Amino acid sequence: MSDHDNSRKTPVTIERLLEVLKNGKIDTEHGMMRWSSNYTFLVSVAHEDITTMAVYKPQKGERPLWDFPDGTLCYREVAAFIVSQQLNWQLVPPTTLREGSRGLGSIQFFVDHNPEQNYFSFDKDLAPQLMRMSLFDYLINNADRKGGHCLLDAQGHLWGIDHGITFHSSHKLRTVIWDFAGQAVSDDILADVEKLSQALSDCDSEFYKTLRGLISESEINAFSARIRRILKSKKYPQPGPGPNYPWPPV
């Protein structure tokens, strides 16, 4: 990954970017981002020798939803990042929870990408990355995987954004990525999911403790059940009854 300081383009690690997002000064607010249903701001974050662009979603700007507890969307954004990292899939940009200019909220590294590109315009060679994202969305119970929530960076790496409505204890999966429904999950992906299962089953693990501070116990139990279901079936889920696609799709 690269930072967004115009004076330097030094590759930096996810860990370093996370440190910047956690401890940096929110230098400049560049205004609200278009098309977001919640208050979302593009900001600059500066720490030591790095200045980067980030997406700031204040808790106070979250639109109330009938099926998700108020004020929890920013926590779920961070939970999705934590799971992505535990899987070692790097699907979610570095994300943390912190105080900002408009109060507590999630701060996520801004992925530099071509806004004209999205899931519906991707080449077939992205299938291996999309396979991970498809299964990831099932595991976190993503209720809003739109085509425009799939970003491709300059290095050809696929990132997923907007994970505020995830981890519900009831089935909520709505996604545009049904390409692999019913297909067998590869052994390497299953091995990663098995490691995730082991970390989640250890209540003393740092992963479990961190996740428990972000989502409820019932949501963790439902998350664990989805993991076990995949490890048993070894297949990508099929669309079920009810709405399976987000609206709008992009």
Considering the domain boundaries, does residue 249 fall inside one? no
pLDDT band at 241 (very low <50, low <70, confident <90, very high): confident
Choose between 249 and 32: higher pLDDT.
249
- DSSP letter string over 86-131? HHT---S--EEEEEETTEEEEEEEPPP--TT--GGG--GGGHHHHH
Element (DSSP H or E) covering residue 140: helix 127-140
Return the closest-CA partner of residue 40 out of 82, 2, 6, 74: 74
Inside any domain, residue 80? yes
Q: How does strand 158-160 pair with strand 150-152?
A: antiparallel
Confidence band of 173 (pLDDT split at 50, 70, 90): very high
Domain presence at residue 8: no
Say if 241 falls within a structural domain.
no
User: What is each CA distance from 159 to 29, 110, 249, in whole angstroms?
Assistant: 23, 10, 17
Task: Give me 123's structure tokens.
Answer: 């080449």
Chain centroid, CA 184 distance in Å? 24
Q: CATH number for the domain including 189?
A: 1.10.510
Tell whether 223 is covered by a domain: yes
Least confident among 26-35, 40-49, 155-164, 224-233: 26-35
Q: Tell me the two tokens of residue 80.
A: 């999705």
How many structural domains comprise the chain? Answer: 1
Tell me if 250 is assigned to some domain. Answer: no
| Residue at 229 is within a domain | yes
What is the domain range of residue 78? Answer: 14-233
Predicted pLDDT of residue 6: 39
* 117-152 confidence digits (pLDDT tens): 999 999 999 999 999 999 999 999 999 999 999 999
Q: For residue 36, is pLDDT > 80? A: no
Is 239 inside any structural domain? no
**Span 240-250, average pLDDT:** 88
What pLDDT does residue 27 have? Answer: 77
Name the residue among 94, 128, 82 with its Cα closest to residue 21: 94
Q: Among all chains, which residue has been given the structure tokens 């019913």?
A: 182
